[in-house]
């Protein structure tokens, strides 16, 4: 059976695309999420743009907490 691909599967910037979608659904700016997650704004911007495509577990946990989401929410279907 062929695996169903999502919009983000296989993309180098997939995690950033997913975080950005969650952030927009929550009505947050990059600056607001960075502050809630206690991470530098530039780090979040680099993740969303794909410059950083493999953020640390600690950073991902902070972003998930800032989005009131789970790590699974942010990483499933990648």
Q: Domain locations in the chain?
A: 14-75
Q: Are 67 and 33 in contact (CB under 8 A)?
A: yes
Collect contacts of 5-12 with beta carbons under 8 A, ≥24 apart.
6/77, 8/77, 8/78, 9/77, 9/78, 12/50, 12/53
Dump pLDDT digits (tens) for 57-73.
999 999 999 999 999 99
Cα–Cα distance for residue pair 78/14, rounded to 1 Å:
7
The matching CATH number, chosen from 1.10.260.40, 3.40.50.1860, 3.30.300.30, 1.10.1060.10, for 14-75 is 1.10.260.40
Does the pLDDT value for residue 75 go beyond 70?
yes
Quickly state the pLDDT bin for 7 (edges 50, 70, 90).
low
Report yes or no: 76 and 66 within 8 Å, Cβ to Cβ. Answer: no
d(CA 37, CA 55): 14
């Amino acid at each position: 059976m062929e695996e169903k691909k999502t919009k983000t599967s296989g993309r180098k910037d997939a995690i950033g695309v997913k975080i950005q979608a969650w952030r927009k659904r929550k009505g947050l700016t990059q600056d607001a999420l960075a502050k809630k997650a206690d991470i530098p704004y530039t780090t979040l911007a680099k993740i969303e743009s794909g410059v950083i495509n493999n953020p640390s577990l600690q950073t991902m946990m902070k972003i998930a907490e800032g989005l009131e989401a789970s790590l699974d929410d942010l990483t499933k279907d990648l």
